[in-house]
Amino acid sequence: MNERPIDGEPSSPHRPWYRRPGGIAAAVVVAGSFALWAYALSGVARRDPPDTLADKAYASRAEQVCAPYRRIVDALPPAPASKTPQDRAAVLGEATDTLTEMVAGLRTIAPDNPADQAIVDAWLQDWDHYLADRYAYRDKLATGTDAKFLLTSSFGVIYTRSMDNLATVNAMPSCITPGDV
């Protein structure tokens, strides 16, 4: 097909979009984007969170263990209600003793498979760590020092996040760390 130049401009053959490198690249990007979103929204990509227990009965039993202890801790006076660090230490000690009993109760139940048992064991070790941090804080307050509650970290990560995540994804809201400190 011969085209005549307009006003002295040289003619250039007209190529369809699929024969131009830029058109091909644009089509690949659009198709790839569409495929990615189709995959993501299809449900094929859905995965359970890593802390999801296969033994749903364990989660139910754990919630039953945690709930009464959590009610006791939640009924204690909040931190700002304490007039002195020593008063706060007494309340914190009572709450932490209650949580220690809760963790002991959790140790009496076990999931029905080894993979879940490994996850629960790590979770209970984190609870032990958390209780030790609470007792250390109570001891500082008992000296009259108006200290801040600090959690020790594990590999740069605050371990209560993973504790709470396990409780959340397994529908154990009473087993989440309390916000009483």
Average model confidence (pLDDT) across the chain? 85
Q: Which residues contact 158 (CB under 8 A, 6 or more apart)?
A: 151
pTM: 0.73
Q: What is the pLDDT of residues 60-96, one digit of tens each?
A: 999 999 999 999 999 999 888 899 999 999 999 999 9
What are the tens digits of pLDDT across the range 112-160? 999 999 999 999 999 999 999 999 999 999 999 888 888 887 666 788 9
Evaluate whether 20 touches 81 at the Cβ level (below 8 Å).
no
Q: How far is CA 65 from CA 108, 125, 150, in A?
A: 10, 17, 27
User: What does 102-145 look like in DSSP terms, one character per residue?
Assistant: HHHHHTT---SSHHHHHHHHHHHHHHHHHHHHHHHHHHHHHTT-
